[in-house]
């Protein structure tokens, strides 16, 4: 086996005598272009189910390098900044590629039986409330409202769904409208009461 003394190189192959840089150096634009050209027309063979399962097991639980590790606020902020504006619109790999019914069915089946804990639900709620909500301060246009209305024409809730909605409303805290003095859930209060109730 050939040993290289330089710290920037490491022998990683006993048979092929191949060497890999580990000094944090990056490819030049010219090299990147050559690599891209060399891969044109080449397709990687899809993984077999057995191969996928092996990869999944090798990266699951304690085998995962991030197991039991939480990202710091600083790290999350850096990731957020580096990803801002990426994979948006036409740059997204799934842009213009709707999921097939088969794929939708697989996703649906994979989530059957999974339930979120109350703690997780609360975290999701906080993360999407107020200014954190992607729609905060962005009222729907009349055109959008019309499309939503037309899309729901003829749709009716089943009796089971009605019972679930009724039950969930009973368990939600009620808030008093300062104008009509009646109590409503938060969503109803915001949508129909408050300043709107005066009208």
Q: Where are the beta strands (DSSP E) in the chain?
A: 9-11, 19-21, 174-176, 183-185
pLDDT in tens, the chain (199 residues): 444 444 444 444 444 444 444 455 678 889 988 988 888 888 778 889 899 999 989 988 888 888 888 888 899 888 888 888 788 788 888 888 899 999 999 999 998 888 889 899 989 988 888 888 888 888 888 999 899 999 989 888 899 998 888 888 777 888 888 888 888 888 888 888 877 776 5
- Please, how many CA atoms are within 13 Å of residue 56, restricted to the half-sphere of its CB? 7
Residues in contact with 132: Cβ distance below 8 Å, sequence separation at least 6, in sequence order? 126
**CA 168 – CA 141 distance, rounded (Å):** 29
Domain contains 194? yes
Q: How many CB atoms lie within 10 A of CB 184?
A: 20
Q: What token pair was written down for 1?
A: 């086996």
Domain contains 42? no
Q: What is the pLDDT of residue 104?
A: 92
Q: What is the pLDDT of residue 24?
A: 58
Q: What is the largest CA-CA distance in the chain?
A: 86
Domain contains 179? yes
Domain contains 119? no
Q: What is the pLDDT of residue 8?
A: 45
Domain contains 62? no
Q: What is the pLDDT of residue 105?
A: 92
Q: What token pair was written down for 106?
A: 């697989």
Q: What is the pLDDT of residue 102?
A: 93
Q: What is the pLDDT of residue 147?
A: 92
- pLDDT tens for 110-135 read 988 888 898 999 899 888 888 888 88
Q: What is the pLDDT of residue 12?
A: 43
Domain contains 180? yes
Q: What token pair was written down for 75?
A: 């790290």
Q: What is the pLDDT of residue 198?
A: 67
**CA 4 – CA 16 distance, rounded (Å):** 14
Domain contains 110? no
Domain assignment of residue 176, given as a range: 172-199
Q: What is the pLDDT of residue 79?
A: 87
Q: How many CB atoms lie within 10 A of CB 189?
A: 19
**CA 50 – CA 86 distance, rounded (Å):** 33
Domain contains 47? no
> Into how many domains does the chain fold?
1
């Amino acid at each position: 086996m050939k040993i290289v003394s330089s710290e920037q190189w490491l022998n990683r192959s006993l048979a092929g005598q191949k060497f890999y840089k580990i000094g944090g150096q990056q490819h030049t634009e010219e090299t990147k272009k050559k690599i891209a050209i060399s891969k044109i027309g080449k397709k990687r063979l899809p993984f077999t189910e057995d191969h996928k399962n092996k990869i999944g097991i090798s990266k699951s639980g304690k085998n995962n390098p991030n197991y039991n590790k939480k990202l710091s606020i600083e790290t999350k902020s850096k990731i957020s900044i580096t990803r801002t504006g990426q994979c948006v619109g036409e740059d997204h790999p799934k842009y213009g590629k709707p999921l097939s019914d088969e794929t939708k069915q697989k996703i649906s089946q994979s989530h059957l039986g999974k339930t979120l804990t109350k703690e997780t639900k609360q975290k999701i709620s906080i993360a999407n409330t107020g200014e954190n909500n992607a729609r905060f301060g962005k009222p729907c246009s009349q055109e959008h409202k019309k499309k939503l209305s037309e899309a729901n024409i003829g749709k009716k809730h089943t009796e089971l769904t009605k019972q679930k909605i009724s039950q969930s409303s009973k368990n939600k805290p009620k808030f008093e409208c300062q104008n009509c003095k009646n109590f409503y859930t938060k969503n109803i209060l915001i949508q129909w009461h408050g300043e709107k109730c005066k009208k």
